Structure 1
Amino acid sequence: MAFDYDSELRYLDPSFRASLGIRSGDHVLDVGCGSGRTTRDAARIAAEGRVVGVDVSQARIEEARELAAADGLRNVVFEVADAQTHPFRDAEFDLVMSRFGTMFFTDPMAAFTNLARSTTTGGRLVMTVWQERAVNEWAGPLIDAILGDSAEAPADDSAFSLADRESTRSLLESAGFGDVGFSDVSRPVWYGADVDAAFDAVLQLRGPQEVLGRFTGAALHRAMGRLRTQLAAHATPEGVLFGSRAWIVVARRR
């Protein structure tokens, strides 16, 4: 079963939705749309416009298409596409939005330049990105607990590639955006109703998978035990919650 990002991000979503400012006639692009929850939400508001969701995962896009059809949405389409290189039409979109889908570009300058090209003059870019690893409990303390006495940090820090405000501002301005602003969002991520559910969910995530892959035999068993202990320490009546910090980045096409 695929990891349920919509459930994980349930406490972060309201701030993201409030920042979008979608209008009924907008043409919208959702970058890294996954199974399309954010895309479908946008399509309901942009009822007289058009919404396009793109993702590199064929399986996620197929799921998104099925869910949109079940909802009876006729103004939304989903495409398997890499937003970094996809030939969108010039000035095609009034809004480019992304919920944690823009941190993984192999060439961020090329990607945001492509997105700027496809955005109308004065059009908006709104994206949610993670702040640095150290202020995110799901990435810092959780991974540290699995590692135990091992001092070696995870090799993949791509999830935090847009964490630094000044470098991200410079990137977006060089790509063709202006009026770049950052809003701090501090809300928990949700991993499951109880420790067992959270344990199964976390094992599907790339970060924990990477560090657990360093262990074998008894050492792996102990690492799994440390993971379960850490999850138990974050169990609440609302589920297993870990603190998170993100930026909502808003910019306009110059």
Structure 2
Amino acid sequence: MDVVNTSQAEAWNGYEGEHWAGHHDRYDAVNNGFNEALLGAAAIGPRDRVLDLGCGNGHVTRLAARRAPLGDALGVDLSAPMLARARSLAGQEGVPNVAFEQGDAQVHPFPDSAFDAAISRFGIMFFADPVAAFGNVRRALRDGGRLAFLSMALLAGTDLGTVFAAIAPRPAAVTGHSGPLSLSDPDHVQEVLGAAGFRDVSCRTVHADQVWGRDAADAAEFLAGWGPVRHNLGDGPELRTTITDAMRPFEHDGAVRLRGTALLVQARS
């Protein structure tokens, strides 16, 4: 496997990847509300070949494959633990037209013009060189192929931003402008995709309900284990208490529910 993003490869094949693989259902509960917006933007047809970038545990890859019963879906990710989970779940669910490969999408040797659509649910914010990465993705798409992805939106004014403001003096120091928030600015996204050769680039904000846990303490335990939080803020009981207090206003209907905000990006090759 060719890798240029070595720090991310270490993280996703270490603690971060193990946490996501071990809590795949929890992460899907947080992010599943965005699936319809993403898949609708990708306009997947029954014969399409779909590339899922940073596919993780493969939930979106499997959904895409079901929308293309006469085509197929390929999920690519750096993380061996998450890909193992993805393959296991695809087998359990009986999705035959899906495959998963370990690779760094920035340099992965995709065949030229092989895919009709490329998608990602929060898996494309970590490229070492985003212009080179998206250029590689564009090469893998047929002429006029579709790109649709979700990235984290700026935290200010969001429910998650409220939680982070309570637990960290500078929330961006936890999430990092070179990490989860690297594609949160629409102007920057337009610049990156344009430089990578994409056209008809559009960005819009979308919202979805996110379930973070059964109650505030359960949600705090989960969020405290998320890689950026654990790496930047440590792993002590005081942090869990602070997160629990921040999550408590969002307890209702038997769960902790935040109104999630994301950036939905569409473009053509």
For residues 152 and 234 of structure 1, what CA distance do their matches in structure 2 show? 19
1:143 counterpart (151, 164, 171): 164
Q: More displaced, 76-85 or 204-213?
A: 204-213
Q: What's the TM-score, normalizing by structure 2? A: 0.85
For residues 103 and 58 of structure 2, what CA distance do their matches in structure 1 show? 14
For residues 87 and 239 of structure 2, what CA distance do their matches in structure 1 show? 39
**1:211 Cα shift?**
3.9
Within the alignment, does 1:250 sit opposite 2:250 as a pair? no
| Alpha-carbon contact 1:24-1:48 (below 8 Å) kept | yes
| Alpha-carbon contact 1:26-1:49 (below 8 Å) kept | yes
| Alpha-carbon contact 1:146-1:224 (below 8 Å) kept | no
| Alpha-carbon contact 2:44-2:67 (below 8 Å) kept | yes
Moved beyond 3 Å, runs of 4+: 150-153, 220-223
Per-residue displacement from partner, 1:218-241 (whole Å, max 9, x unpaired)? xx5443322111111211115212
Q: What's the TM-score, normalizing by structure 1? A: 0.89
**1:153 Cα shift?**
5.3
Per-residue displacement from partner, 1:23-70 (whole Å, max 9, x unpaired)? 011011000111111001111111111210011110110111111122
* Structure-2 change in CA distance of 1:151 and 1:81 (3 Å): closer
Letter in 2 for 1:53: G
| Alpha-carbon contact 1:55-1:80 (below 8 Å) kept | yes
Percentage of matched positions with identical amino acids: 34
For residues 120 and 126 of structure 1, what CA distance do their matches in structure 2 show? 14
1:210 counterpart (198, 216, 231): 231
For residues 211 and 110 of structure 1, what CA distance do their matches in structure 2 show? 28
For residues 211 and 232 of structure 1, what CA distance do their matches in structure 2 show? 22
* Structure-2 change in CA distance of 1:225 and 1:70 (3 Å): closer
Structure exhibiting the larger radius of gyration computed from Cα positions:
1
Within the alignment, does 1:22 sit opposite 2:44 as a pair? yes
**1:200 Cα shift?**
2.0
* Corresponding residue of 1:111: 133
* Corresponding residue of 1:169: 190
| Greater fraction of residues in helix | 2
For residues 10 and 151 of structure 1, what CA distance do their matches in structure 2 show? 28
RMSD between aligned residues? 1.9
* Corresponding residue of 1:62: 84
Per-residue displacement from partner, 1:63-88 (whole Å, max 9, x unpaired)? 11111122222211101111111000
> After superposition, where does 1:223-238 map in structure 2 within 5 Å?
223-237=239-253
Aligned residues: 245
For residues 166 and 145 of structure 1, what CA distance do their matches in structure 2 show? 28
- In structure 2, stretches of 5+ residues that fail to align are 1-21
For residues 172 and 40 of structure 2, what CA distance do their matches in structure 1 show? 35
- In structure 1, stretches of 5+ residues that fail to align are none
| Alpha-carbon contact 2:33-2:209 (below 8 Å) kept | yes
**1:178 Cα shift?**
0.3
For residues 183 and 215 of structure 2, what CA distance do their matches in structure 1 show? 31
For residues 197 and 179 of structure 1, what CA distance do their matches in structure 2 show? 42
For residues 231 and 133 of structure 1, what CA distance do their matches in structure 2 show? 16
* Structure-2 change in CA distance of 1:223 and 1:60 (3 Å): closer
1:180 counterpart (193, 201, 218): 201
